[in-house]
Structure 1
Amino acid sequence: MTTWLCGLDPRWSMAAPSCFVSTIRRNLENEEPQDTEQCPPQALALDLDHADFLAAMAPKPVIILAKERDFFDVRGAEETYARLRRLYRLLGAEDNVALFVGPTGHGYSTENREAMYSWFNHASGMAAGDTDRTFGGVLSSTGEVPFTAEPEIRIEKDETLQCTPKGQVDAMENTRTIYDFTREKSQQFAAARKPLSGEGLQKAVTDVLKLPAERGEVPDYRIWADLRARDYPTKHAVVYSVDTEPGIQASVYRLTKGRWYSRPERTGKRALLYVAHLSSDDELRNEPLIREQMQAEPDSPLFACDVRGIGESRPDTCTPGSFHSSYGSDYMYAIHSLMLDRPYVGQKTLDVLRVLDWLASVGHTEIHIVGRGWGALPATFAAVMSDQVKQVTLKNALTSYSEIAESKHYEWPLSTLLPNVLAQFDLPDCYEALQAKQLRQIEPWNAQAK
């Protein structure tokens, strides 16, 4: 928080952010997910980095406190220091910026605290004190910084430090928590929102999801080998990798009765498009809804889609097997999407819209879209946006974003959430609009995904 506050509050006279400053590039390349508050929304879209926030302090004194063995890459701290030195030099205050690298791992340990004392005493002109000791790490500074040792610390009792009777604010009478404020804000938005439909709803969806105004030409695609013996509803299947935007592909399974090695067969206008919850491959085996829809429409070919980050395109970055964990790959891509000002749900919706463009290019201009769980969100938004979608079936779709905002606990991950959505619309607006497309809802999920 020190780093962000440096760029926001002019009252600070000096700063010493510890065990955080690096570069966003280093964190991303090292697959190092960070806390939500450490990832400012739109930062990447605005081309901001850690150095930019600290630069807002210039020419006031700043020392970057890093650690040699920290998971926040010390190389990024050195790069940030180099950028700041150039700026401070131009301002005639190069002595006012420094870097200290302690030898240990993450934490505000003694060597970093003593570097902070020394820097603050130096910057404020206070005496350093008499000691034979010196810095417990490497100090980089163009000026002379006398060492200040940490005095003996007396650990206070918890009761002495408590500023409330029990040490917790939420234990006090009439306390309002962050959940109370969030719930009230959601209710205020709901009271102020006007019902949206038609072009008004489409514009709101476009704005909130950050969808492109134009999608360009029909996407190119690659053809995978024929898939057999996978216990799908049909004996065979072929998979197409559809280029939804540069460097991004959606995996689209097309079920076939016989072997198929080439582009999709033209079999008429109508087709089923299933948008998977977590994996088309798994759900083609185990999701009863797919077989039910195929039996209801035996003449409509079925395509199953893995949007980015799901199924075949699911990354195993960060820690292997960490997809669902608090700091796993799903979270990392979701939080960086917010920093890019491109919500992950919006990117996945674009995948579905591009798959619809591709299906239209092979003759399927009347689509029954079927979405489940997480996949029901991009399926819903794509159905709102596309005239090509004629029918909609959703299973385990989120009831509303308001319910999440007004719940203390919820089970939907960051990758399914949309910043500022409740200021413009909520999912029931979409569901109401989709009644005109024969919307069928099956077992909707609440905030707890139940």
Structure 2
Amino acid sequence: MYCSGHSALGYRSPVYQHVIINLVKKGFIVFAFDPVGQGERIQYYDPNTGQSRMGGPTREHSYPSVQLLLAGTNLVNYMVWDGIRALDYLATRPEVDINRIGVTGRSGGGTQAAYLGAVDDRVKAAAIENYLTSFARLYESKGPQDAEQNLTHGILKGIDHADLLIARLPKASLLIATTNDFFSIQGARETFEQVSTLAKLYPFAQDKLFMVEDDAGHASTRKNREALYAFFQSQLELPGPVTDLEITVPAAAELRVCASGQVSTSTPSENLFSLNKKHASTIQPTFPKHPLSLPDVSFIKELVGFNQPLDTVNNVFTGRVARKGYVIEKYFTYSSGGYLIPYLYFKPELPNGKALIYVHPEGKESMALPGSELERMVQSGYAVFCPDLIGIGEMGPGSYKGDAYIDGVSYNMCFMGLQINKTVVGLRSSDIVALRQVITRAFLFDDIYAISVDELASPLLHAALFDEAIKGVLTIGDFATYSTLVNTEYYDSRHAFSLVPNVLLYYDLPILTRAIAPRKYAHLDGKGAGPAILAKIKGFSAK
């Protein structure tokens, strides 16, 4: 069985067809199928352009994954199930010996081959090309990859690339690598050494683990292909010449299966979005509660990966800008994770004794422009604190984008957090709580309220739940509940950072707006509504 990597053509890619046809000419039956989001299974197909609206396979995989993860699943589930059903089909074919099954794939196909080889005992031999390394080496070099390459809490539970081979022992595996691949060759070598050490402890496993490498980038080479042929010829007992033959590759149109070239436009069918929407509609949240029927705050902290900041003042003053009726003071403090939280303190000339935390997705500098709605609040006597939360402004991602960069959002950062049970929501809510502690301890405010704009509603509501010193919350603009994200096929990518895996199994954001009672909560749909914002805040602080 051949698993295709990240090619929009799926198994029709000339690189993949070369290996497939070579294997056929050597006597193997080869079953190749399109992974979801590729070939004839594009999830966001635009009939006007004949292309994906997302722009490519890694985006086709990652964009729906936020919705899958919210509802308690993972794209890994769907991809592994595809492979299992493919093996089920092969088992029905009279010409197939189900006891002599091999699986291979390169790059993203290597991911699929590694998973399938680990979970399905029918795979007698697995050849995994241009994928296996280690998470430590991957994160030191290329960074986290797209959705299906990340298990929910995988690293947290101790699962590394080596475990996908260890799970196969004593069945045969071949690790195929190249020395200049973005999947670190050092990680590949270390993984092979680790698994080889364990293989020596297994009866009959010593001669079942192999590795080949060649000097190249993320590519298929003749040396590696011939090692792959030899591996399957030996392990599946089909001897013959290993020579890599020159192949005339069929045109992609010749390999079309559906009349229109797409499942979605050829036959009534489901896609990831529709399947997940149906799944989400069946979920009955089982939210753990305290005896007093309040949400279990400790459970939510664990779910979002929240770290309680140390209640200490570690505040660094870096400068001041004078404005008419107020000054802007510049500071940074430290998060629970040890990184900086830069913020601006808008200090009114005639203070009213009340403080506002104002979090904006465009960062603190956007709030410092003369004539902004924030200026009106300061001139009304409110002390306003505007931080750059992690991923925003001076705490932005720098040059890192990843292979699933959609509308300015690096989905890959969500998937790194997925592996270790750290969400952007959890980190940002911790940043807000850390800033609130500084406001209380360093600036001696007791009446502290908080405002968020658009997608920052989620971290602010979590922060208010975790920190009762925040006396009221106002959310402004696009408030997207988790259910809304799951039920909206083309959701706004900015909300990807609101991801909390498995959250809909337990709660949605509206429960947090009720859980902070008797403290005040309000929402404003419009942006730039200075008078309305002031009216809401004054209502919060009224005695």
TM-score by length of 2: 0.68
Q: What is the Cα deviation at residue 154 of structure 1?
A: 4.3
Match of 1:314 in 2: 396
Pair 1:20 & 2:131 matched = yes
Following superposition of structure 1 onto structure 2, how do residues 32-71 of structure 1 map, counting pairs within 5 Å? 32-71=143-182
Q: What is the Cα deviation at residue 434 of structure 1?
A: 5.3
In 2, the alpha carbon distance for the partners of 1:7 and 1:359 equals 51
In 1, the alpha carbon distance for the partners of 2:404 and 2:490 equals 16
Match of 1:248 in 2: 339
- Aligned AA for 2:234? H
Q: What is the Cα deviation at residue 317 of structure 1?
A: 4.3
Q: What is the Cα deviation at residue 192 of structure 1?
A: 5.6
Match of 1:277 in 2: 361
Q: What is the Cα deviation at residue 31 of structure 1?
A: 4.1
Following superposition of structure 1 onto structure 2, how do residues 369-448 of structure 1 map, counting pairs within 5 Å? 369-413=450-494, 414-433=496-515, 436-443=518-525
Given the superposition, is the C-alpha separation of residues 117 and 401 from structure 1 closer, same or farther in structure 2, using an over 3 Å criterion? same
* Per-residue deviation, residues 262-301 of structure 1 (Å, max 9, x unmatched): xxxxx886311112313112332278332243344x1x32
Judge which range, 415-424 or 322-331, deviates more: 322-331
Given the superposition, is the C-alpha separation of residues 329 and 184 from structure 1 closer, same or farther in structure 2, using an over 3 Å criterion? closer
Match of 1:106 in 2: 218
In 1, the alpha carbon distance for the partners of 2:400 and 2:426 equals 23
Given the superposition, is the C-alpha separation of residues 434 and 50 from structure 1 closer, same or farther in structure 2, using an over 3 Å criterion? same
Pair 1:223 & 2:316 matched = yes
Secondary structure at 1:221 match in 2: coil
Match of residue 349, structure 1, among 429, 440, 443: 429
Match of 1:137 in 2: none
Match of 1:171 in 2: 265
* Per-residue deviation, residues 193-213 of structure 1 (Å, max 9, x unmatched): 78999722645633432335x
- Aligned AA for 2:311? V
- Aligned AA for 1:289? E
In 2, the alpha carbon distance for the partners of 1:287 and 1:198 equals 45
Q: What is the Cα deviation at residue 245 of structure 1?
A: 1.4
Judge which range, 108-117 or 376-385, deviates more: 108-117
Secondary structure at 1:199 match in 2: coil
Residue 51 of structure 1 contacts residue 80 of structure 1 at CA under 8 Å; is this kept in 2? yes
Given the superposition, is the C-alpha separation of residues 294 and 79 from structure 1 closer, same or farther in structure 2, using an over 3 Å criterion? same
Match of 2:237 in 1: 125
**What is the total number of aligned residue pairs between the two structures?**
410
Match of 2:15 in 1: none
Residue 237 of structure 1 contacts residue 256 of structure 1 at CA under 8 Å; is this kept in 2? yes
Given the superposition, is the C-alpha separation of residues 436 and 358 from structure 1 closer, same or farther in structure 2, using an over 3 Å criterion? same
Given the superposition, is the C-alpha separation of residues 287 and 52 from structure 1 closer, same or farther in structure 2, using an over 3 Å criterion? farther
In 1, the alpha carbon distance for the partners of 2:516 and 2:372 equals 23
Given the superposition, is the C-alpha separation of residues 234 and 65 from structure 1 closer, same or farther in structure 2, using an over 3 Å criterion? farther
Q: What is the Cα deviation at residue 380 of structure 1?
A: 1.6
Pair 1:368 & 2:430 matched = no
Given the superposition, is the C-alpha separation of residues 357 and 222 from structure 1 closer, same or farther in structure 2, using an over 3 Å criterion? closer
- Aligned AA for 1:277? P
Given the superposition, is the C-alpha separation of residues 289 and 94 from structure 1 closer, same or farther in structure 2, using an over 3 Å criterion? farther
Match of residue 306, structure 2, among 211, 217, 229: 211
Given the superposition, is the C-alpha separation of residues 166 and 237 from structure 1 closer, same or farther in structure 2, using an over 3 Å criterion? same
Given the superposition, is the C-alpha separation of residues 224 and 335 from structure 1 closer, same or farther in structure 2, using an over 3 Å criterion? farther
Residue 132 of structure 2 contacts residue 175 of structure 2 at CA under 8 Å; is this kept in 1? yes
Match of residue 334, structure 1, among 391, 394, 414: 414
Given the superposition, is the C-alpha separation of residues 408 and 53 from structure 1 closer, same or farther in structure 2, using an over 3 Å criterion? same
Judge which range, 379-388 or 77-86, deviates more: 379-388
* Per-residue deviation, residues 369-414 of structure 1 (Å, max 9, x unmatched): 0112333221121123322122222222433111111122122343
Residue 66 of structure 1 contacts residue 100 of structure 1 at CA under 8 Å; is this kept in 2? yes
Secondary structure at 2:126 match in 1: coil
In 2, the alpha carbon distance for the partners of 1:115 and 1:272 equals 65
Following superposition of structure 1 onto structure 2, how do residues 263-274 of structure 1 map, counting pairs within 5 Å? 270-274=354-358
In 1, the alpha carbon distance for the partners of 2:343 and 2:306 equals 21
Match of residue 277, structure 2, among 149, 164, 183: 183
Secondary structure at 1:13 match in 2: strand
In 1, the alpha carbon distance for the partners of 2:344 and 2:404 equals 24
In 1, the alpha carbon distance for the partners of 2:325 and 2:268 equals 58
Q: CA RMSD in A?
A: 3.2
Residue 280 of structure 1 contacts residue 311 of structure 1 at CA under 8 Å; is this kept in 2? yes
In 2, the alpha carbon distance for the partners of 1:166 and 1:312 equals 48
Residue 133 of structure 2 contacts residue 191 of structure 2 at CA under 8 Å; is this kept in 1? yes
- Aligned AA for 1:165? A
Judge which range, 21-30 or 383-392, deviates more: 383-392
**Which sections of structure 1, spanning at least 5 residues, go unmatched?**
130-147, 259-266, 446-450
In 2, the alpha carbon distance for the partners of 1:233 and 1:58 equals 72
In 2, the alpha carbon distance for the partners of 1:211 and 1:395 equals 24
In 2, the alpha carbon distance for the partners of 1:28 and 1:393 equals 37
Given the superposition, is the C-alpha separation of residues 395 and 435 from structure 1 closer, same or farther in structure 2, using an over 3 Å criterion? farther
Given the superposition, is the C-alpha separation of residues 324 and 18 from structure 1 closer, same or farther in structure 2, using an over 3 Å criterion? closer
Residue 316 of structure 1 contacts residue 323 of structure 1 at CA under 8 Å; is this kept in 2? no
Given the superposition, is the C-alpha separation of residues 378 and 289 from structure 1 closer, same or farther in structure 2, using an over 3 Å criterion? farther
Q: What is the Cα deviation at residue 15 of structure 1?
A: 0.6
In 2, the alpha carbon distance for the partners of 1:195 and 1:47 equals 26
Secondary structure at 1:70 match in 2: coil
Match of residue 236, structure 1, among 309, 328, 331: 328
Given the superposition, is the C-alpha separation of residues 222 and 235 from structure 1 closer, same or farther in structure 2, using an over 3 Å criterion? closer
In 1, the alpha carbon distance for the partners of 2:252 and 2:522 equals 56
* Per-residue deviation, residues 129-173 of structure 1 (Å, max 9, x unmatched): 2xxxxxxxxxxxxxxxxxx12345343455653443333221233
In 1, the alpha carbon distance for the partners of 2:282 and 2:468 equals 33
Given the superposition, is the C-alpha separation of residues 153 and 170 from structure 1 closer, same or farther in structure 2, using an over 3 Å criterion? same
Q: What is the Cα deviation at residue 94 of structure 1?
A: 2.6
| Identity score, percent | 21
